[in-house]
Amino acid sequence: MKTIIEPFCIRSVEPLHHTTREQREQFLLAAGYNLFLIDAKNILIDLLTDSGTGAMSTEQWAAMMRGDESYAGSESFFRLKAAVEELTGLRHVIPTHQGRAAERILFHVMCRPGQTVPNNTHFDTTRANIERAGARAVDLPCPEAADTQALHPFKGNMDVEALERLIRAEGPARIPLAMLTVTNNSGGGQPVSMANLEAGRGVTARYRIPLYLDACRFAENAYFIHRRESGYGGWTPKQIARKMFSLADGCTFSAKKDAFANIGGFLCTNDDRLAEQEKELLILTEGFPTYGGLAGRDLEAIAVGLKEVLDPDYLRYRIASTEYLAGIGDAA
């Protein structure tokens, strides 16, 4: 079992505290076995979350120095907007302090009591924000997802036939939007195929239901499509990612994951009316639409990270090191 050399140079290190087995048992006991209640200083390897577990690049640190902290019209926002538009093709880019803030704004504007929002598998904050708006969150994972031991290239897929049955049973008017989470975080971080995205888009378009991506791990998903799906071996991760976003009417995004940032997120849409409503709510709870609760330096870091995360060498290394840790195969 082999791993590969990392395609980056480590310029700084953060000391970690090595604990004994006995100490770890005491920390778990004191926390009531709730990992969220263990102090970060006592964690050696963080397997609780994929947020805040990475490090920023030299280009991100350099970009942070030009952060424009203007309340309105920040140049840092326009650089972020250009990066997001170039990647997603979506017209309206609304920055937020985290992905869950984007979810809250989206579902507050789009959802009403009695409505239903389907997803391959909702993340916990996604489900909570839908239910807080009075709607119902429904998971429609593919059948292969039920067997945790079975190998399948795209276990994150949505059951598209179940989606169509749900729409017919509920009625299109009761479904304000459908979502696909890429990769499927609550489904074990499993990828979604392009064919599944296209099939989901076909169903939602037929019933005139907007399709949104929860795009927190879009780059990783794009790389799995490159490796595993027929017809995409010659495509770059960026080309695949752009096609993924082209199938959506909007997206939510947490920048603490596939943008390597310390904080941040955004909400995107092509709908002019929705964008105005979302920006109005943003002003009340996050900040002006050209900073959205973020410092200018954070906007800069996200803009750079969105480009760097699609580097094929980095993605190859990321998947190879994960497979090495799991002992499931050679990614080279």
Q: Return the structure tokens found at 26.
A: 């005491």
pLDDT per residue as tens digits for the range 120-134: 999 999 999 999 999
Considering only CA atoms, which of 218, 214, 309 is closest in space to residue 261?
Answer: 309
What is the DSSP pairing of strand 265-269 with strand 92-96?
A: antiparallel
pLDDT per residue as tens digits for the range 165-212: 999 999 999 999 999 999 999 998 999 999 999 999 999 999 999 999
Element (H, E) at 78: helix 75-88
The residues spanned by each domain of the chain are 58-326
Low-confidence ranges of the chain (pLDDT < 70): 1, 328-332
d(CA 96, CA 207): 30
d(CA 214, CA 216): 6
Coil, strand, or helix at residue 17?
A: coil
- Could you tell me which CATH number the domain at 58-326 has? 3.40.640.10
CB atoms within 10 A of CB 161: 13
